[in-house]
Amino acid sequence: MSNIYQTLISVAELQALQAAGATLLLIDASFDLADTAAGERAHAQGHLPGAHYLHLDRDLSAPKTGRNGRHPLPEREAFAARMRTLGLRPDTQVVCYDAQGGMYAARTWWMLRWLGHAPAAVLNGGLQAWTAAGGPLSQTATPAAPPSDFRPGPSLVASLDADRLLAGLGRLRLIDARAPERFRGEVEPLDTQAGHIPGASNRLFKNNLDAEGLLFKPAAQLREEFAALLAPHAPQQVVHQCGSGVTACHNLLAMEYAGLGGSLLYPGSWSEWSSDPGRPVAKG
């Protein structure tokens, strides 16, 4: 493959790959936390031709226990098996997209890197950018691909669990991607407690996008913003979290795009952390 995309890909770049006959796998990860069937309905009403749909709850998460967060990571092999059903091969360029500013596509991107699959990127601007550029939509269900023999390789990303995070509080730089009012503990529409993990700083994931909330900011601008937020910590000392480990991946993608790779994800995030009354909580 002449061009490998590992963070963002533009509509023009995707169309060039399509025109060149590149081996592609398109994944629609559109979702709505308030209506968990909305993304699948929208996919049926119109998706990029050839795209497959992955559902946040069914395909990108494991069952909930009440103590493992709202969107716990599945077993790595279980997700690899799901990707085999889509025909994923080591040389396949995966392009993930959604219609929500990349928040669910970024989770899919991170999980593919978790499997060791490097050629995975998020479509910058998502469905809206595709249609704005005159890209066609299909209402035809994408046929199942011949299953592949894909096997996970060494992970390209790092994560940590609640115990390691608890032990590292005060040494690690913790970034929370939730809305500021949730971070401060003024409201909590989804989880058992309001507040945040002590020592965390807040960067709403939407701050990675332009004024229209569509395209990612330029890499240089993101690098400047994150460098100021993280100083004096190196990216490898930074842990990202959110409510359930989804929008934190948006900040991880933005940092990777900005050349600040190597940060960790706390997959359980606030929904897991706050489920244990013995863990410390901060507000304000």
Structure confidence by residue, pLDDT tens digits, 18-58: 999 999 999 999 999 999 999 999 999 999 999 999 999 99
CATH topology of domain 158-273: Oxidized Rhodanese; domain 1 (3.40.250)
Angle subtended at Cα 164 by Cα 170 and Cα 82, rounded to the nearest 5 degrees? 130
Q: What pLDDT is stored for residue 2 in this prediction? A: 59
In the chain, domain spans: 8-132, 158-273
Instruction: Find the catalytic residue in 242, 246, 248, 254.
Output: 242
Q: What pLDDT is stored for residue 192 in this prediction? A: 87
Q: What pLDDT is stored for residue 3 in this prediction? A: 83
Does this model's pTM top 0.95? My answer is yes
> Do residues 71 and 245 make contact, with C-beta atoms less than 8 angstroms apart?
yes
28 three-state secondary structure: strand
> In CATH terms, are 8-132 and 158-273 the same topology?
yes
| Dist CA 244 CA 1 (whole Å) | 35
72-80 contacts, C-beta under 8 A, 24 or more apart: 72/245, 72/267, 72/268, 72/272, 73/111, 73/114, 73/159, 73/245, 73/267, 76/114, 76/115, 76/152, 77/152, 79/111, 79/114, 79/115, 80/115, 80/150, 80/151, 80/152
8-132 architecture in CATH?
3-Layer(aba) Sandwich (3.40)
What rounded mean pLDDT belongs to the chain? Answer: 97
| Dist CA 43 CA 54 (whole Å) | 10
Question: 252 is written with which tokens?
Answer: 């991880």
The alpha carbon of 264 is separated from its chain's Cα centroid by a whole number of angstroms, namely 13
Is the pLDDT at 277 greater than 80, yes or no? yes
Q: What is the pLDDT of residues 111-162, one digit of tens each?
A: 999 999 999 999 999 999 999 999 999 999 999 889 899 999 999 999 999 9
Reply yes or no on whether 96 is catalytic: no
